[in-house]
Chains A and B, each alone.
Chain A
Amino acid sequence: MIPAAFEYIRAGSADDAFAQLQRLGADARVLAGGQSLIPAMRFRLARPAVLIDINAIKELSNIGIDNGRLTLGAVARDCAIERAPWIGERRWSLLHDASRVVADPVVRQMGTIVGSLCHNDPAGDWTTVALATRAEVVVRGKAGSRTVPIDEFLVDSFTTAVAEGEMATAVRFPVPGDRTAGSYQKVERKVGDFATAAAAVQVTLAEDGTIRDAGIALSAAGPCAVRVSEAEALLKGQKPTAEVIRGAAAAASKKSAPQADLRGSVAYKKNLAGVLVSRGLRQALARLGVQS
């Protein structure tokens, strides 16, 4: 299948890309990894008049830890996370887990984290991880760059805070403390599928062994990734007991408001939300040396 005809512009810099976007407005789409956009174009579900290719922009492919934040540029690839030298550290376990189950191993060579956030599929992986880790997205607009907390960035299915003529240039994850671990639990029908249900969990323990902070988010549980704030509140300040975990799982299951589709029924997906949060919490805690 062949996309409808379009004009191709290869942007040389972020400034160039932004200027083109401003000039072309709604006619243009930014091409990053293209792993969702190009298939959509082949089916002619997307038919931009102009593609602004940002893949060659060096400054947007950066991955760096600075000032307590991990910054990933707009064309940093999924596989770059999987291969980062620090990814084996416990604090990054949520990102590490997720980086191994996004799409398939070949698609991950091109697919980007920021592109996935901008696509905002209700069953996406990175959106869910970004919620649990309290990431923020750098959006370049007319008034310059602004930083948007992920909860505000994800507006609705396939809709984000990036307005017409704007572009997301990076995502920033806070560098978790030493006593932090996470887990990404995904049920998928096969490799390459979007989640039937998935849970992103990140837990930070205080010195006394209580939970200082928790991030809990669900995929395929609503119009876009869902933060289970009820579960986060439930966990905070508590000793990580089986009962507390059960409570968090129940809150997740309750919060989950999925659509029935070929991947599963509403009841099944709601059940999975609880099961996966429970498993995620137990794995994150195990990574911190706590058996629960």
Chain B
Amino acid sequence: MSIEATPKGSMGVAMKRKEDPRFLQGKGNYVDDLSFPGMLHMAIVRSPYPHAEIVNIDGSAALKVPGVKAVITGKDLEAAGLGWLPTFHGYDKQMVLAIGKVLFQYQEVAAVFAESRAAAADGAEAVEVEYKPLPVVADPFVAKQDEVLLRPDREAKTNHIYHWEVGDKDKTAQALGAAEKVIKQRIWFPRCHPAPLEPCGCVAQFDTMGRLTFHVTSQAPHVYRTAITIVTGIPEDKIRVISPDIGGGFGNKVPVYPGYVCAIVGALKLGRPVKWIESRTENLTSTGFARDYHMDVEIGARADGTVTALRVSTTADHGAFDAAADPTKYPAGMFGVVTGSYTFPVAHAEVDAYFTNKAPGGIAYRCSFRVTEASYAIERGMDILADELGMDPVELRRKNFVRKDQFPYASALGFTYDSGDYHRTLDVALEKIGYQALLKEQAEKRAKGELMGIGFSTFTEVVGAGPSKHFDILGIKMFDSAEIRIHPTGSGIVRAGTKSQGQGHETTWAQIVAEELGLDPQNIMVEEGDTDTAPYGLGTYASRSTPVAGAAIAMAARRIRERARKVAAHLMEVGEGDVEWKDYKFQVKGVPAKSVTMKEVAFAAYTNPGQNEPGLEATQYYDPPNMTFPHGAYVAVVDVDRETGEVKVRRFLAVDDCGTVINPLIVEGQIHGGLTEGFAIAFMQEIQYDKDGNNLNTNFTDYLVPTSLESPKWETANTVTPSPHHPIGAKGVGESPNVGSPAAFVNAVIDALSPFGVRHIDMPITRDKVWRAIRDSDPAKG
């Protein structure tokens, strides 16, 4: 047997990313980098009105623009049966191009196809559309009154989309009635947008046999393939969806957008490839926004701080179409995790969603379907309760935490939390941040009239959608998949149904396979995003990649190991039962000297398999038995300038517990990024509409993405409580920092302003809002 390096483990290794060299040399392959012979460019004509009847569309001037080949409108699409596309959770459908009227500003009205980017833009400008403005509903509380019906196309003649509730309404009401202390607060999580730096886009092309190849910025390529079949009727075998490198997604690249359908129609109609790349303005004004939840939070407690009941009633603004990308049975996503890390004996949550004349969406922006809203509501609510009880918010949390010995813990709203150690994670945070010293400093500063705040968030997230009995999108169960082939010389390829958008799957997936098989992760290639080669999967969002596809990969690798064991037994001339997998190789039980490596077995699987089936590959579809529940304890320390309202984040510590860590470098990177987005949401990013329905944040000069100068420097630490049901104990991490941090920032600011009696400020916390809160405060205080 050959001499080679001793195989070693790959789990928990801070391996540098395998995908980086191509990105570092400008050799990434993003959609807009693609070019095909004869390729046309598409531009979209959009509505300047938030709500208007379309009287006429005249494309004749556009067709005279040199290079313009065609103009299509909603009428054309409707005639071809392509007027509408289904939204992912099946409660609504969305216009591809406006039919009869427009329902939000920047809605897609016509598509123009031309020989160049510039000609397409010129053509779009030349399309003449006559509108007749209609009354605008830009507020869900106005929509509720049903005075203006926005969607007469629907059977139910109301702006109300759905009512969803969970928990025991009556018992919760009773418990709140009996509580010694009840707090109530309207908390708005405003509308924001993921704004990945690469906008959305696609290239559609049909080959001579009529097969569609569709390159697209998709976080879920297989779902797109199925959706395209549903919308267009093209058989699924005649469609190949390819997600090339993606420049960030954050949930924005989950839905199927009207532009994609138009590009496919254009390619079919004109017989040439069609590229559509949206502008930043198009991205911010028409693709999936997030949040926009108005939450009435009530918490009941005993005088000693023990919580007794939670009730949250939410009014949700979904915009013109219900294009929220939630699983079918969960119109309000995982909002039921709103009881957070605390042992509420009873709770009730309800969400009522409404149409307004705003862009459609409600997608999960770095979030596992409305978990961010839920987490923010409870973590703000706990701080308000602590304030009203005169308790330290840390003590209130500690008192009500689910204890380590209570796991698996059945929450009042129906989740079974898999594992956690909330007290320990909080203790690590308190020690690392130096809480006692900070409290002392704060007291000294307050005596001098300086404003310093300390804010906590001890959140629990729910990720890894999800078990097939509960979760599906378009009816497809939310499993994920992996296929592994080990080559004769001990290298291999793994394909998964997920799609990295920066999360580092090419590295992490290789590490899982390498760990399970004792191989070198540098020689395990990872391929995702091509529906012709990858097994069917539901894609990457909602922190589901590691909990679902990561599990599938580990289990596929274990299947390979079981097949390899037979070959190893053959090689070592012992019975299969005498072979054990130890120290990353096969050994004869009790005879450590007699062993073979996976590399040797791989070679034998192709050259000398004995009675065994030749080759070494496996496919695994994984249906998770439960969700995973990462948690964390976050602390923000802020200083507030009372004259300008400026908030300076002096320190921010995130202690995360995402279970087993596969690659600490990547996990830390995910946390840094998520914290920065949480910071952005807390202080800067907002999509606002004026009362007339005009979008006010249509590009990066007003949709404020933080730079290196605004962004705080992050401190991180972790605890490890493995998930008991996940094959490698991992829980997922990409979203925790974005879910957990907004409340910590806001709690810190409110703490800083507590001398003025300020109780709550809605995000984003701008300097103006802080200054006005101080100005308008009780003059007896402060």
Direct A–B contact present (CB less than 8 angstroms): yes
CA distance in complex: A110, B766 (Å): 30
User: Contact: B767 with A196, CB < 8 Å?
Assistant: yes
User: Contact: B710 with A262, CB < 8 Å?
Assistant: no
User: Contact: A191 with B122, CB < 8 Å?
Assistant: no
A254 at the interface (CB under 8 A from B): no
User: Contact: A262 with B772, CB < 8 Å?
Assistant: no
Interface bits A184-195 vs B (CB < 8 Å: 1, else 0): 000101111100
User: Contact: A268 with B768, CB < 8 Å?
Assistant: yes
User: Contact: B772 with A267, CB < 8 Å?
Assistant: yes
Question: In the complex, what's the smallest C-beta–C-beta distance from B195 to chain A, in angstroms?
Answer: 14
User: Contact: B117 with A2, CB < 8 Å?
Assistant: yes
CA distance in complex: A192, B699 (Å): 13
Known: A265-B772, A268-B772. A192 touches B707 (CB 8 A): yes
User: Contact: A190 with B767, CB < 8 Å?
Assistant: no
Collect the chain B residues with CB atoms within 8 Å of residue A275's CB.
643-644
B709 at the interface (CB under 8 A from A): yes
Collect the chain B residues with CB atoms within 8 Å of residue A265's CB.
768, 772
CA distance in complex: A1, B124 (Å): 11
CA distance in complex: A192, B775 (Å): 28
User: Contact: B768 with A264, CB < 8 Å?
Assistant: yes
CA distance in complex: A160, B122 (Å): 31
Collect the chain A residues with CB atoms within 8 Å of residue B701's CB.
192-193
Q: How many residues of chain B get a CB closer than 8 Å to chain A's CBs?
A: 29
Interface bits B681-717 vs A (CB < 8 Å: 1, else 0): 0001000100000001100011011110110000000
B118 at the interface (CB under 8 A from A): yes
User: Contact: B125 with A189, CB < 8 Å?
Assistant: no
Collect the chain B residues with CB atoms within 8 Å of residue A192's CB.
701, 707
User: Contact: B767 with A268, CB < 8 Å?
Assistant: yes
Collect the chain B residues with CB atoms within 8 Å of residue A272's CB.
644
Collect the chain A residues with CB atoms within 8 Å of residue B768's CB.
196, 263-265, 268
B279 at the interface (CB under 8 A from A): yes
CA distance in complex: A264, B771 (Å): 10
Collect the chain A residues with CB atoms within 8 Å of residue B710's CB.
190-191
B167 at the interface (CB under 8 A from A): no
CA distance in complex: A264, B646 (Å): 13
Collect the chain B residues with CB atoms within 8 Å of residue A193's CB.
701, 704
B window 68-107: CB within 8 A of A: none
A23 at the interface (CB under 8 A from B): no
Collect the chain A residues with CB atoms within 8 Å of residue B775's CB.
267
CA distance in complex: A48, B77 (Å): 37
CA distance in complex: A4, B121 (Å): 9
Collect the chain B residues with CB atoms within 8 Å of residue A4's CB.
122, 125
Question: In the complex, what's the smallest C-beta–C-beta distance from B532 to chain A, in angstroms?
Answer: 34
Known: A190-B706, A262-B702, A275-B643. A268 touches B118 (CB 8 A): no
CA distance in complex: A268, B642 (Å): 12
Known: A4-B122, A187-B767, A262-B688. A268 touches B696 (CB 8 A): no
B697 nearest in chain A by CB position: A262
B9 at the interface (CB under 8 A from A): no
Question: In the complex, what's the smallest C-beta–C-beta distance from B352 to chain A, in angstroms?
Answer: 29
Known: A187-B767, A268-B645, A268-B767. A1 touches B704 (CB 8 A): no
Collect the chain A residues with CB atoms within 8 Å of residue B643's CB.
271, 275
Collect the chain B residues with CB atoms within 8 Å of residue A2's CB.
117-118, 121-122
CA distance in complex: A228, B684 (Å): 31
CA distance in complex: A15, B250 (Å): 53
Collect the chain A residues with CB atoms within 8 Å of residue B697's CB.
262
Collect the chain A residues with CB atoms within 8 Å of residue B767's CB.
187, 196, 264, 268
> Which among B281, B684, B688, B771 is the interface contact of A268 at CB below 8 angstroms?
B771
User: Contact: A191 with B125, CB < 8 Å?
Assistant: no
CA distance in complex: A267, B279 (Å): 35
A178 at the interface (CB under 8 A from B): no
Question: In the complex, what's the smallest C-beta–C-beta distance from B119 to chain A, in angstroms?
Answer: 9
Collect the chain A residues with CB atoms within 8 Å of residue B707's CB.
104, 190-192
B280 nearest in chain A by CB position: A1
A187 nearest in chain B by CB position: B644
B41 nearest in chain A by CB position: A2
A44 at the interface (CB under 8 A from B): yes
Collect the chain A residues with CB atoms within 8 Å of residue B705's CB.
190
Q: Which of A5, A190, A263 has the most CB of B within 10 A?
A: A190
Collect the chain A residues with CB atoms within 8 Å of residue B125's CB.
4, 44
Collect the chain B residues with CB atoms within 8 Å of residue A190's CB.
684, 704-707, 709-710
Question: In the complex, what's the smallest C-beta–C-beta distance from B744 to chain A, in angstroms?
Answer: 21
CA distance in complex: A263, B702 (Å): 9
A window 255-292: CB within 8 A of B: 262-265, 267-268, 271-272, 275
Collect the chain B residues with CB atoms within 8 Å of residue A268's CB.
645, 767-768, 771-772
Known: A264-B768, A268-B772. A187 touches B117 (CB 8 A): no
CA distance in complex: A268, B767 (Å): 9
Collect the chain A residues with CB atoms within 8 Å of residue B279's CB.
1
A271 nearest in chain B by CB position: B771
A window 189-217: CB within 8 A of B: 189-193, 196
CA distance in complex: A47, B305 (Å): 65
Collect the chain B residues with CB atoms within 8 Å of residue A1's CB.
121, 279, 281
Question: In the complex, what's the smallest C-beta–C-beta distance from B542 to chain A, in angstroms?
Answer: 29
B688 nearest in chain A by CB position: A262
B window 644-703: CB within 8 A of A: 644-646, 684, 688, 696-697, 701-702
CA distance in complex: A2, B114 (Å): 14
Question: In the complex, what's the smallest C-beta–C-beta distance from A174 to chain B, in angstroms?
Answer: 31
Collect the chain A residues with CB atoms within 8 Å of residue B644's CB.
187, 272, 275
Q: Which of A192, A262, A265 has the most CB of B within 10 A?
A: A262
B708 nearest in chain A by CB position: A191
A276 nearest in chain B by CB position: B644
CA distance in complex: A161, B644 (Å): 35
CA distance in complex: A279, B723 (Å): 54
Q: Which of A1, A196, A263, A265 has the most CB of B within 10 A?
A: A1
Collect the chain B residues with CB atoms within 8 Å of residue A191's CB.
707, 709-710
Known pairs A190-B706, A190-B710, A268-B768; list 7 more (Cβ under 8 Å).
A2-B118, A104-B707, A189-B684, A190-B705, A191-B710, A262-B696, A267-B775
- 17 A-B pairs within 8 Å (CB atoms) are namely A2-B118, A2-B122, A4-B122, A5-B122, A104-B707, A187-B646, A189-B684, A190-B705, A190-B707, A192-B701, A262-B688, A264-B768, A265-B768, A268-B767, A271-B643, A272-B644, A275-B644
* Those 5 A-B pairs whose CB atoms lie nearest each other, nearest first: A264-B768, A268-B768, A2-B121, A2-B118, A275-B643
